[in-house]
């Protein structure tokens, strides 16, 4: 009987020690620091120094060979035109080719209309002031569609780095202001993450598609330079290089 009581007593003491040890460890474990997480956004406006022109050539005929030959001839004339405008071959690319038989009833494939042959030509033009003349001549030469006109800067990396630095600065200022409103102060940053920004375009199909996202900027900075102008009515002005970051700071 005494032996049984000793065993029970020993178990009770052991359980108490385990509970006490667990409570002590929980009390000793460091608590997670208080944090504030904010986003910072910035935009640097830049004068573009190149333009990407995306042209489409579409021909159709009941005879596939005729439709294809006519398309090839139109494309060849446009490629020759680009050369006449002093554009290097590496800046001219045939980007999309497709041949499609078309019917009045597409489901049943009845009422054959003809074969549609399509090609896309992408031209990178470094002299913006020659852009209007090139576009006009291309349409007169054989291009049937203008899929896209995109003004860009060749110094994107430089301006992107500047926009990112401004975005981080904006995030720090925002965090300090928000913490200050609650009589708090921020400490060291604990994490920094760059978010996707800006806009993009692609033309996976013939008519193409375009997606983009817009956002409200904390900072807008003019990178300088005179707005790009052309001899005609085109005024590309400035393009926006954007950056957005998410930063967490310790609250003191």
The predicted-structure confidence for 44-98, as pLDDT tens digits, reads as follows 988 888 889 999 999 999 999 999 999 999 999 999 999 999 999 999 998 888 9
Average pLDDT over residues 145-158: 89
Hey, which of 128-137, 180-189, 206-215 has the most confident mean pLDDT? Answer: 180-189
Confidence of residue 21 (pLDDT cuts 50, 70, 90): low
Which residues, 6+ apart, have CB-to-CB distance to 219 below 8 Å?
40, 41, 42, 43, 166, 167, 169, 170
CATH numbers and ranges of domains, the chain:
35-48+155-251 (3.30.110), 50-152 (3.30.70.2970)
- Please tell me whether the overall predicted TM-score, pTM, comes out greater than 0.85 for this model: no
- Look over the chain and give the mean of its residue pLDDT values, rounded to a whole number: 79
The string of DSSP letters for 159-226 reads HHHHHHHHHHHHHHHHHHHHHHTTT--EEEEEEEEEEP-SEEEE--SSS-EEEE-----SEEEE---P
The angle formed by the CA atoms of residues 129, 131 and 137, to the nearest 5 degrees, is: 130
Q: What is the pLDDT of residue 164?
A: 95
Q: What is the pLDDT of residue 96?
A: 85
Pairing mode, strands 209-212 and 50-61: unpaired
Name residue, tokens 């992107």: 160
Average pLDDT over residues 126-130: 87
Instruction: Quote the tokens at residue 225.
Output: 């330079």
Q: What is the pLDDT of residue 200?
A: 44
Distances (CA, A) of 38 to 57, 87, 177, 193: 48, 46, 11, 11
């Amino acid at each position: 009987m005494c032996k049984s009581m000793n065993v029970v007593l020993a178990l009770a003491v052991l359980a108490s020690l385990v509970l006490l040890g667990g409570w002590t460890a929980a009390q000793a474990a460091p608590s997670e620091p208080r944090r504030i997480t904010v986003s910072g956004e910035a935009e640097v406006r830049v004068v573009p120094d190149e333009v990407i022109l995306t042209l489409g050539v579409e021909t159709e005929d009941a005879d596939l060979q005729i439709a294809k030959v006519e398309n090839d001839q139109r494309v060849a004339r446009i490629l020759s035109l680009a050369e006449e405008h002093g554009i290097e071959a590496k800046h001219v690319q045939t980007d999309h080719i497709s041949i499609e038989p078309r019917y009045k009833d597409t489901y049943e494939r009845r009422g054959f209309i003809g074969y549609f042959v399509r090609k896309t030509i992408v031209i990178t033009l470094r002299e913006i002031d020659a852009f209007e003349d090139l576009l006009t001549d291309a349409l007169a030469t054989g291009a049937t569609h203008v899929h896209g006109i995109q003004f860009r800067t060749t110094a994107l990396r430089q301006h992107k780095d500047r926009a990112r630095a401004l975005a981080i600065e904006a995030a720090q200022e925002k965090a300090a202001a928000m913490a200050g409103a609650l009589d708090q102060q921020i400490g060291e940053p604990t994490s920094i993450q760059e978010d996707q920004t800006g806009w993009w375009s692609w033309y996976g199909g013939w008519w193409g598609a375009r997606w983009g996202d817009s956002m409200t900027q904390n900072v807008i900075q003019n990178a300088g330079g005179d707005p790009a102008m052309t001899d005609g009515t085109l005024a590309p002005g400035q393009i926006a290089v954007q950056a957005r970051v998410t930063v967490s700071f310790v609250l003191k």
